[in-house]
Amino acid sequence: MERIYLDHAATTPMHPKVAERIFEAHNINFGNPSSIHSFGREARHLLDQARETLASSIGAKQNEIIFTSGGTEADNMALLGIAEGYQQNGKHIITTQVEHHAVLHTCKKLEKMGYEVTYLPVDETGGISIDVFRASLRDDTILVSVMYGNNEVGTLQPITEIGQILTDHQAIFHTDAVQAYGIENIDVNKSFIDLLAVSAHKINGPKGTGFLFARENVKLAPRSFGGDQERKRRAGTENVPSLSGFREAVLISQAEREIKRKNFKQFKEAFMNILKEQDVEFSLNGTLEYSLPHVLNLSFPGTNVESMLVNLDMAGIAVSSGSACTAGSVEPSHVLVAMFGKNSERLINSIRFSFGYNTTEKQIVTAAEETAKIVKRLRK
């Protein structure tokens, strides 16, 4: 049975060129970039190259990139670092109800520390309202954290509009771009972004690697202490091989972005067309208009996600229900709850299909047909 991987929003396969680059760096460029000898210099050179590529990928400067262990650490660093760094200006934070838990759970922690957090609601497409956002802004708001594109339903938020509004407000603007980076064309200057979190493993790079963009003039209190790495904002010997691989992944994603965007949009349409042809009742969670091209979240009335996921897995099709669940706890997706309310049927019958590197049209057809078959069987 050919297995079909349609869970690229969870993680992606590493691109062979990336793997090669990492292997090589581990073998040859193993030096510590802080060392003064030739080994150290070689590693430092790779690190600088990575920093340069990552910075330019979002229109940032080199000294604005802080390497991290991934998106979660970058989000944590942004929120906790700004909250601490700007506490004398106020204790109010604005975020949304549909953020990744890396942001939401950090906000919960901040609430316990005495900060006040406003969680912006979303409409049925998953988007926030700019008017509601504007009305939520206060003089003591120090941080606004709104994700770029949603990991469960793909909805893009009005990032540039938020950034624009904040140009004459003290609040620092952070965006979690983990799911959007690599597929969306992100420019931190055009969108007035102060902080931005990215993860490598979502774009065919290595796991355990990411970065936080932090604008030069932003006061970010450090979260780890030790050596002078990352301008004392993140101590610890840099993961040079992974960062070198991350760079490779970014270069590839830049070269392939437009063709991927085009293909993935077609995949979405093809997938839904097949379901329609097969007379399968479904509805889209989110929107096709302002959405990440690679994330498709569908609701299948009359089915149950637990049966759907297992049946699809047994048919060799790897998908997910949005947020990962553990030990059988079906925590309903907080994103779908925010969009449809906590009593919606969609909470228990929605599946996320997400595309990526090496997803083919043929796989989409097979997956859609297999999905149709399973839905029909379960509805009996």
By annotation, the residues acting in catalysis are 325
Residue count, binding to other proteins (CB under 8 A): 14
CA distance 339 to 97: 9
User: Given the complex with other proteins, which of 362 and 379 has the nearer CB atom?
Assistant: 379
229 is a contact residue toward other proteins (CB under 8 A): no
Among 231, 237, 330, 361, binds other proteins (CB under 8 A): 330
302 is a contact residue toward other proteins (CB under 8 A): no
CA distance 202 to 148: 14
Among 288, 325, 337, 365, binds other proteins (CB under 8 A): 325
Q: Which residues pair with 354 in a beta bridge?
A: 7, 295
337 is a contact residue toward other proteins (CB under 8 A): no
Q: At what angle do helices 240-277 and 16-27 cross, to 10 degrees?
A: 170
Interface region with other proteins, contact rule CB under 8 A, candidates 62-70, 99-107, 319-327, 337-345: 319-327
CA distance 144 to 169: 11
Q: How far is the CB of 185 from other proteins (least distance, A)?
A: 39
111 is a contact residue toward other proteins (CB under 8 A): no
User: Given the complex with other proteins, which of 20 and 331 has the nearer CB atom?
Assistant: 331
Nearest alpha-carbon partner for 188 in 287, 4, 54: 54
Q: How far is the CB of 380 from other proteins (least distance, A)?
A: 10
270 is a contact residue toward other proteins (CB under 8 A): no
108 is a contact residue toward other proteins (CB under 8 A): no
Instruction: Name the phi and psi angles at 18, rounded to 5.
Output: -65, -45
318 is a contact residue toward other proteins (CB under 8 A): no
User: Given the complex with other proteins, which of 167 and 326 has the nearer CB atom?
Assistant: 326
Nearest alpha-carbon partner for 65 in 308, 204, 202, 246: 246
326 is a contact residue toward other proteins (CB under 8 A): yes
Among 20, 123, 140, 306, binds other proteins (CB under 8 A): 306
Nearest alpha-carbon partner for 16 in 355, 363, 362, 357: 357
CB atoms within 10 A of CB 243: 29
| Per-residue interface string for the shown chain with other proteins, residues 340-379, x marking contact by CB under 8 A | --------------------------------------x-
Among 62, 63, 307, 358, binds other proteins (CB under 8 A): 307
Q: Is the dihedral of CA 76, 79, 80, 85 positive or negative?
A: positive
Place of tokens 């991290």: 68
310 is a contact residue toward other proteins (CB under 8 A): yes
Q: Within 28-69, where are the H helices?
A: 38-57
Interface region with other proteins, contact rule CB under 8 A, candidates 92-100, 120-128, 285-293, 305-313: 305-313
Q: How far is the CB of 311 from other proteins (least distance, A)?
A: 6
1 is a contact residue toward other proteins (CB under 8 A): no
CA distance 285 to 279: 18
Among 145, 229, 311, 350, binds other proteins (CB under 8 A): 311
Nearest alpha-carbon partner for 294 in 325, 271, 324: 271
2 is a contact residue toward other proteins (CB under 8 A): no
Distances in whole angstroms, Cα of residue 59 to Cα of each of 32, 51, 189: 28, 12, 7
3 is a contact residue toward other proteins (CB under 8 A): no
User: In sequence order, what are the residues at sequence separation of 6 or more whose Cβ sits closer than 8 angstroms to the Cβ of residue 283?
Assistant: 298, 299, 301, 346
Let me know the angle formed at the C-alpha of 201 by 147 and 27, rounded to the nearest 5 degrees. 145
328 is a contact residue toward other proteins (CB under 8 A): yes
Among 313, 342, 358, 360, binds other proteins (CB under 8 A): 313
User: Tell me, what amino acid is at 209?
Assistant: T
Summarize as ranges the residues that interact with other proteins (CB under 8 A).
306-307, 309-311, 313-314, 325-330, 378
